[in-house]
Amino acid sequence: MVTSELTGVLVSGGQYALKVLCPLGADNQGVRPSRPLGVKTVLIGEPDPVPEEEYLPARSRKGLCLEVVNGWQSKINNRKARPVDLDRWKAMAGSKAVIRPTTFVRAGVPEPAVAVYLNGHADQFGWIAKGQIGAVKQEMRGYLARMGQYTLEFIGDQPEQGAHS
């Protein structure tokens, strides 16, 4: 699948693994390598016995980073979803996404919310975590990265002035 040299960001791919996310764009398209690409193996010793949730992707202060949720723990506990459904959802890490401010109605009461959509899809993919809704003032584009056991992370393409991850 790799036909040229790419640059990207390392993110958590599991308890003892990392993944490389390579953004699509002019810098990473249509460039043929001048030399064959190789694989470099780096031994880092025995893994630390730290839970996966603590292996979070490095966050860039250049863009807004927000937690993406979809109620997976509750869905799995109530047998409305299976762990394989969560795995498929989390496999979308690396996909381009759009977030849009909206309203969510709970028990007849409207409240602010931010919906997450995959680029080119009309169906909603998830929500920005409730505590981070205030950081979103307008529609934003970015991509998804792995985060925790039941969450992904939206990483905005554009710097957001005054926002914190």
Task: Tell me the residue ranges of DSSP E strands in the chain.
Answer: 9-14, 17-21, 65-69, 96-106, 109-118, 124-128, 140-146, 152-156
Contacts of 37 (CB under 8 A, 6+ apart): 2, 5
Per-domain boundaries in the chain = 9-156
Distance CA 165, CA 163 (A): 7
Threshold 0.75, pTM exceeds = no
Structure tokens at 51: 């839970």
Residues 107-117: pLDDT tens digits?
Answer: 999 999 999 99
The CA distances from residue 86 to 39, 82, 160, in Å, are 30, 7, 30
Residues 24-60: pLDDT tens digits?
Answer: 544 444 444 444 444 444 444 544 444 443 333 444 4
Residues 125-157: pLDDT tens digits?
Answer: 999 999 999 999 999 999 999 888 999 999 998
**Single-letter code of the amino acid located at 130:** K
Distance CA 21, CA 106 (A): 36
